[in-house]
Amino acid sequence: MAAERLVVIGGDAAGMSAASQARRLKGPGELDIVAFERGRFTSYSACGVPYWVGGDVEGPDALIARTPEEHRERSIDLRMRTEVTGIDVAGQRVRALDRDSGEAYWTDFDKLVIATGARPVRPELPGIDAAGVHGVQTLDDGQALLETLERTTGRRAVVVGAGYIGVEMAEAMLRRGYEVTVVNRGAQPMATLDPDMGRLVHEAMDGMGITTVNGASVTRILTGPDGRVSAVATADATYPADVVVLGIGVEPETGLARAAGLPTGPSGGLLTDLSMRVRGHHNIWAGGDCVEVLDLVAGRTRHIALGTHANKHGQVIGANAGGGYGTFPGVVGTAVSKVCDLEIGRTGLREKDAAAVGLRYVTATIESTGRAGYYPGARPMTVKMIAEYRTGRLLGVQIVGREGAAKRVDVAAVALTAGMTVEAMTALDLGYAPPFSPVWDPVLVAARKAVTEVRKAGSA
């Protein structure tokens, strides 16, 4: 009997984790694995690019978890700079284009993994393609930006967008010695937080010398006589710029899958079942930044591009495609980030998310410190907790503060997964010692206040 063939489209976290996991379960005699990657790198940490640009990390090699050669040593037929241009679902084959030789060919599959990732949102603005305007989603992007920085003598950087990538790039450019202006469409930076918590980020960025302009949509990128970027314009103002970084976010790269008739959700991401199989297709899986994931708190699918999810998807897909068993139950929406020494963590629903899915809620916001107040280095943190009206079920937590703030949301992430009430959370046995926490951990303080708010609202 001939070996089955598993074809993988996309050589980054989800795709190559799937390939590796499938290979662990089935040897080359049982399973051929062919993986296509249109770029020059495999299995790298895109999340590390801001730290490479900022000079904290030596790149790009340090950001590569596994090279093409390492994958090939595991008997994976990895074809680099080869783009899949079509999927023939009924015929069980994909069409590939070798970007160097120009050769195009069909490859049959028994099982298919779609891991085409996401592409940066790149608004159709006049001047967007000018020299000196850079995205930061890929290693190539990072390299190109660093080359621009080497050649640029001016010190004014404009970062467009104030989400995770935007604020991380603001830090990176600040560390490179630039005068940084962040142009942000939203009312506050970090739209993944409620505005009251986003305001704390804004204030902290101010304190670091980063100028943040909120409520400002870019209308055009201006260029100088040399064709290079010279400024970023909004309806109201013009911000001189020697370099522009686009940190506007990403959208699922699913043109290929949609052209093949595969189902996508409201965000344009592929829809899968709990085993990461594309809905309605027993032999096609999808994972990573090209899929929508089930938000366990909201009860609906969302698009979240995050390396940690992509790796988990890859493991699950590889287990299933390799004849084993695995499922991905969904996410609760945890994310952490930092801007210099400001830490930001969030999990679960924001107020507007809760309202959007029909949940009535109460909120509680408290201030505490990451260590016992008397212990050196105790720095403030603000914790906001959102709980369901009447039931008191935890719906979300947002934390903004200094050391120890970001990863404290993990406690809430587990509590959300377990469906805990804020009342149950007040009794959680969290680690206490003066260097690590006040005697009441900030999350517990927030839970106690949330209990009070739930009671007040319930009796009103």
Instruction: Give me the residues that bind its own copies (CB under 8 A), please.
Output: 13, 45, 47-48, 51, 56-58, 62-63, 65, 164, 306-309, 311-312, 315, 327-329, 331-338, 343, 345, 347, 372, 374-376, 404, 406-411, 413-415, 417-418, 420, 424, 426-437, 439-441, 448
Nearer to its own copies, 83 or 289 (CB): 289
Nearer to its own copies, 49 or 158 (CB): 49
Q: How far is the CB of 452 from its own copies (least distance, A)?
A: 11
CB of 152 within 8 A of CB of 46?
no
Q: How far is the CB of 12 from its own copies (least distance, A)?
A: 12
For residue 240, give both structure tokens: 């001189």
- 340 catalytic per annotation: no
How far is Cα 292 from Cα 272, in angstroms, rounded to an integer? 8
Nearer to its own copies, 151 or 407 (CB): 407
| Tokens 């377990």 found at | 418
Nearer to its own copies, 158 or 443 (CB): 443
From the list 25, 47, 64, 213, the catalytic residue is: 47
How far is Cα 368 from Cα 441, in angstroms, rounded to an integer? 8
Q: How far is the CB of 406 from its own copies (least distance, A)?
A: 5
Q: How far is the CB of 7 from its own copies (least distance, A)?
A: 24
Backbone phi, psi, residue 435, to 5°? -70, -10
Q: How far is the CB of 196 from its own copies (least distance, A)?
A: 21
- What are the helix (H) ranges across 260-333? 307-321
For residue 167, give both structure tokens: 């604020």
Instruction: Write the CB contacts of 145 (distance below 8 Å, at least 6 apart in sequence).
Output: 53, 134, 136, 243, 245
Nearer to its own copies, 162 or 332 (CB): 332
* C-alpha separations of 78 from 30, 314, 328, 369 in Å: 17, 16, 26, 49
Q: Pseudo-torsion of CA 193, 195, 199, 201, nearest 10°?
A: 10
Angle between helices 195-208 and 164-175 (to 10 degrees): 10
How far is Cα 71 from Cα 398, in angstroms, rounded to an integer? 39
Nearer to its own copies, 393 or 408 (CB): 408
* 436 Rama class: left (phi>0) / alpha (psi -120 to 50) / beta: alpha
DSSP 358-394: T--EEEEEEEEESS-TTSTT--EEEEEEEEETTT-BE
How far is Cα 238 from Cα 205, in angstroms, rounded to an integer? 21
For residue 101, give both structure tokens: 């030789």
Query: Which positions are catalytic?
Result: 47
